[in-house]
Amino acid sequence: MAVLVTGASSGIGYACAVRLAAAGREVLVHGRTPERAERAAGSVRGEVDGARVVPVHADLSSLAAVRALARTVGRLDGLVNNAGLFAGNDVEHERRVSADGHELHWAVNYLAPFVLTGLVDAPVVVNVVSGMRASLRWDDPGLVEGWDRVVAYGQSKLALTMFSVELAARAPHRSVFAVNPGYVDTRLVRESFGGAVNSADSGARWVAAPLLPGFTGTSGGFLDAGEWSAPPPLAADPGARARLWELTGTQLDSTVPG
Ligand SMILES: NC(=O)c1ccc[n+]([C@@H]2O[C@H](COP(=O)([O-])OP(=O)(O)OC[C@H]3O[C@@H](n4cnc5c(N)ncnc54)[C@H](OP(=O)(O)O)[C@@H]3O)[C@@H](O)[C@H]2O)c1
């Protein structure tokens, strides 16, 4: 069986795929398109002798594509929900929506991992979250009023963190971790903030850790830039997590995770 790493065409996801392949894991290298997935898989093979990598693709801004990806991958050892979007300086600072009509950060950073995790059989789940966490706009999660990219990104990552903790509680047969890789130098950071000192691989180290030998974390844990930390208040609040789960269910017509 294999580990699926989403967003492995770049940055932390690519570095995570290299780490896992180097440790002998079979890695499903996900890219947005077949070409990007093939290119990333080829690069991993170039870096790691004998790497076992399989390219898979899906545009995660489409829930139909997320479901198709889940059907493609079959049973897994692990799932790394890494792919993520932060509207950068190179694109218009304006609200965009997914193929399904959801605000784009909410769709790619939160709904896609929620649905993918629900559909694939993976005993270990790693959700890549962030230190940037806005609060949740319960009455307007799509940010129809007053869209702001920091709020859009921050609430999508907070929602993913809440999902991690809640899934761990609802699915005791799974080990689920929210991992903030820290502030590291990737395309996302370069395009938005100009760069960072630490390498993508330094963040990938924490993202890959739950899938490598010697890891001792407890399901539901929050690994914040290499330190086990209390989750943010809303993620620690069972009532808020249940409310988010219910809200998410009303936004989706798919099976919810378990
Ligand atoms: N870098 C940091 O300091 C930092 C800190 C905290 C959290 N994170 C999180 O780390 C994760 C990885 O980001 P990164 O920093 O490594 O940035 P990155 O190099 O820009 O990588 C982002 C990855 O997500 C993929 N992706 C984005 N939208 C997609 C879509 N609609 N469908 C399929 N794939 C899509 C990208 O694919 P393409 O190559 O096709 O665009 C790329 O592979 C993100 O979830 C990010 O929020 C990063």
pLDDT reported for residue 74? 87
Residue 256 counted as domain residue: no
In the chain, how many domains are there? 1
Residue 11 counted as domain residue: yes
Question: Per residue in 156-212, pLDDT tens?
Answer: 999 999 999 999 999 999 999 999 999 999 999 888 888 888 999 999 999 999 999
Question: What is the spatial distance between Cα 178 and Cα 185, in angstroms, rounded to a whole number?
Answer: 20
Structure tokens at 144: 């129809």
Place of tokens 């690519």: 14
State the helix-helix crossing angle for 11-22 and 200-208, rounded to 10 degrees.
Answer: 60
Question: Per residue in 218-235, pLDDT tens?
Answer: 999 999 999 999 999 999
C-beta separation of 61 from 104 below 8 A: yes
Half-sphere exposure of 5 (CA within 13 A, CB side): 31
Q: Is 9 in the pocket of ligand 1 (CB under 6 A)?
A: yes
Residue 227 counted as domain residue: yes
Q: Is 83 in the pocket of ligand 1 (CB under 6 A)?
A: yes
Ligand 1 centre from 6 Cα, in Å?
9
Residue 182 counted as domain residue: yes
Question: What is the spatial distance between Cα 103 and Cα 98, in angstroms, rounded to a whole number?
Answer: 6
Question: What is the spatial distance between Cα 149 and Cα 143, in angstroms, rounded to a whole number?
Answer: 10
Ligand 1 centre from 110 Cα, in Å?
13
Question: Per residue in 34-64, pLDDT tens?
Answer: 999 999 999 999 999 999 999 999 999 999 9
Residue 258 counted as domain residue: no
Residue 168 counted as domain residue: yes
> What's the sign of the alpha-carbon dihedral 218, 198, 45, 64?
positive
C-beta separation of 120 from 80 below 8 A: no
Q: How far is CA 255 from the centre of its chain?
A: 19
Question: Per residue in 233-251, pLDDT tens?
Answer: 999 999 999 999 999 999 9
Q: Is 159 in the pocket of ligand 1 (CB under 6 A)?
A: no
- Residue 40 belongs to domain with CATH number: 3.40.50.720
Identify the domain containing residue 121 by its residue range.
2-251
Probe residue for ligand 1, chosen from 149, 150, 186, 199 as the CB with the greatest number of ligand atoms within 8 Å: 186
Residue 257 counted as domain residue: no
Question: Per residue in 123-140, pLDDT tens?
Answer: 999 999 999 878 999 999
